């Protein structure tokens, strides 16, 4: 037998041995699947602008690794870190308390002194929850408030927030800043109703606010609904919300959410409206301050558990709720963003997670400075899969083609209903990360980050990656 024959035989044996190995044991592929490469090429996105990891959820060698260590902006996929850290550091049963305090017990239906509202950072203190808190006060004999309403935000220490700084859209609710006494996500809900017979658009203010006025200059449009939100031009003058632009009749009824006021104005308008509806009277001012040490708690509203709240954060990619949770992770009071970053860093150390590319800002992904790599995200998801809080985290993620931010995506194929994924989108950023169940019943971690001026066109490439992982 000559040397060439011997070498050929050895290669054949090696090839057969590799075929016999489980896929998890094979070296990670660095070449992208053809469908992914083609989609990137058609979008004009170079492969160097993409970071990908596909790996079995229970560990082992990645099936696919491409630019995996490159630090990239993950957009809202960063919420995976914030919510996982929150579930482990605080526990799924953690709740926030909003308290109403007084210095003197009310008598004959009258509170002579101030009423203090003290927040702890509840991410979900909405209209209904605030009404319940005020209803408790009425049930405890308070009708007339003789002093001021003092808003105690001492649980958080945050700089003055500019809602237009990020993208020059100060009225968009996602740009609201964190607040220890965040009320109704600092937003109001308006319902738009097209009336083709009268050729007008009716506007209904669903969120009560004392003194609110609507100046409606909307035109009824006759084109397709499309991206209707971009055609409406809102502006705010004091307590007046003015709506200009057009609203297509084809849209039917739609809800328009706006964040028109500062937090103090938001609380005052809602408090005066609801307190009046409950039959109470109030002639004082609404101002910032601190509850004195001798103040007594008269009523308390306790939030839903963190295990429930992370569903809202991840399913609907709520930025301000994520920022509330992020600040809560600082065990010091008042909590700061720097303190939250330190606490998360310490937690990662105890988990043995070395996320080399991690750069945290506010934990929501609504940031130009936050960074993480595909490898880091995969490592985080692998640790979460082995965690006691795994069921709560996975259940909080949008299901492809079923609910949340992925309800209308991947809703007719092999991935539908089989992937729990957190998406991310900013100008120049597309991302997805989470867990996917393939057609053979095996669970995979899939991470794909795209940072490129043409990232907006990267959705088909991400979908092609998910389809490949599901049906490979």
CATH code of residue 398: 3.40.710.10
Task: Please check whether residues 228 and 279 belong to one and the same domain.
Answer: no
* Alpha helical stretches, state H, 200-258: none
Regarding whether 275 and 145 lie in a shared domain, the answer is yes
In the prediction, which pLDDT does 441 show? 95
Judgement on whether residues 222 and 268 belong to the same structural domain of the protein: no
Please tell me whether residues 210 and 289 are part of one structural domain. no
Which residues, 6+ apart, have CB-to-CB distance to 346 below 8 Å? none
Instruction: Find where tokens 């669970």 sit.
Output: 443
Same domain, 295 and 276: yes
The string of pLDDT tens digits covering residues 98-141 is 999 999 989 999 999 999 999 999 999 999 999 999 999 999 99
143-162 confidence digits (pLDDT tens): 999 999 999 999 999 999 99
Domain count, the chain: 3
Helix (H, G, I), strand (E, B) or coil at 22: coil
Domain boundary residue among 228, 258, 288?
Answer: 258
Q: In the structure, what pLDDT confidence band is assigned to residue 29 with cuts at 50, 70 and 90?
A: low
Q: Is residue 207 part of a domain?
A: yes
pLDDT at 5 over 70: no
Provide mean pLDDT across the span 410-422. Answer: 92
- 242/299 same-domain check: no
- Asked if 87 and 216 sit in the same domain, the reply is no
- Using CA atoms in the order 362, 384, 185, 365, what is the torsion angle rounded to 10 degrees? 40
| 250/283 same-domain check | no
Same domain, 153 and 119: yes
pLDDT tens track for 353-384:
999 999 999 999 999 999 999 999 999 999 99
Beta strand 188-195 with 219-221 is unpaired
- Residue 179 is assigned to a structural domain of this protein: no
Q: Which domain holds residue 246?
A: 188-258
| 356 and 417 housed in the same domain | yes
What is the C-alpha to C-alpha distance for residues 453 and 429, in angstroms, rounded to an integer?
Answer: 8
Residue 14, domain member (yes or no): no
């Amino acid at each position: 037998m000559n040397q060439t024959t011997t070498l050929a035989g050895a290669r054949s044996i090696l090839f057969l041995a590799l075929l016999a190995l489980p896929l998890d044991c094979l070296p990670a592929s660095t070449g992208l699947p053809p469908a992914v490469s083609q989609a990137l090429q058609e979008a004009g996105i170079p492969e160097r602008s993409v970071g990908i990891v596909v790996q079995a959820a229970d560990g082992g060698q990645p099936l696919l690794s491409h630019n995996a260590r490159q630090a990239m902006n993950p957009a809202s996929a960063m919420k995976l870190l914030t919510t996982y850290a929150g579930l482990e550091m605080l526990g799924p049963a953690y709740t926030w308390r909003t308290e109403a305090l007084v210095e003197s017990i009310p008598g004959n239906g009258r509170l002579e002194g101030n009423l203090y509202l003290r927040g702890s950072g509840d991410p979900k203190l909405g209209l209904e929850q605030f009404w319940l808190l005020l209803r408790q006060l009425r049930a405890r004999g308070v009708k007339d408030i003789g002093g001021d309403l003092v808003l105690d935000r001492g649980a958080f220490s945050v700089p003055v927030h500019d809602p237009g700084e990020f993208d020059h859209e100060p009225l968009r609710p996602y740009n609201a800043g964190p607040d220890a006494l965040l009320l109704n996500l600092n937003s109001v809900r308006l319902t738009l109703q097209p009336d083709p017979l009268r050729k007008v658009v009716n506007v209904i203010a669903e969120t009560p606010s004392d003194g609110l006025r609507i100046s409606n200059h909307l035109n009824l449009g006759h084109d397709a609904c499309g991206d209707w939100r971009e055609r409406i031009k809102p502006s705010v003058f004091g307590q007046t919300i003015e709506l200009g632009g057009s609203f297509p009749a084809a849209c039917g009824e739609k809800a328009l959410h706006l964040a028109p006021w500062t937090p103090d104005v938001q609380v005052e308008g809602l408090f005066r409206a609801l307190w009046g509806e409950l039959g109470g009277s109030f002639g004082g001012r609404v101002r910032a301050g601190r509850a004195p040490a001798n103040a007594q708690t008269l009523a308390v509203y306790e939030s839903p558990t963190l295990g429930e709240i992370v569903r809202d954060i991840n399913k609907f990619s709520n930025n301000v709720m994520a920022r509330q949770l992020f600040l809560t992770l600082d065990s010091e009071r008042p909590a700061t963003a720097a303190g939250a970053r330190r606490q998360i860093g310490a937690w990662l150390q105890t988990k043995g997670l070395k996320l080399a590319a991690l750069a945290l800002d506010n934990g929501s992904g609504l940031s130009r400075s936050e960074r993480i790599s595909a490898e880091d995200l995969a490592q985080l998801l692998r640790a979460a899969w082995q965690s006691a809080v795994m069921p709560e985290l996975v259940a909080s993620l949008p299901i492809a083609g079923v609910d949340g931010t992925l309800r209308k995506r991947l809703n007719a194929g092999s991935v539908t209903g089989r992937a729990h994924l957190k998406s991310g989108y900013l100008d120049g950023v597309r991302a997805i990360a989470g867990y996917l169940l393939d057609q053979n019943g095996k669970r995979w971690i899939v991470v794909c980050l795209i940072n490129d001026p043409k990232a907006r066109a990267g959705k088909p490439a991400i979908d092609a990656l998910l389809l490949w992982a599901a049906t490979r």
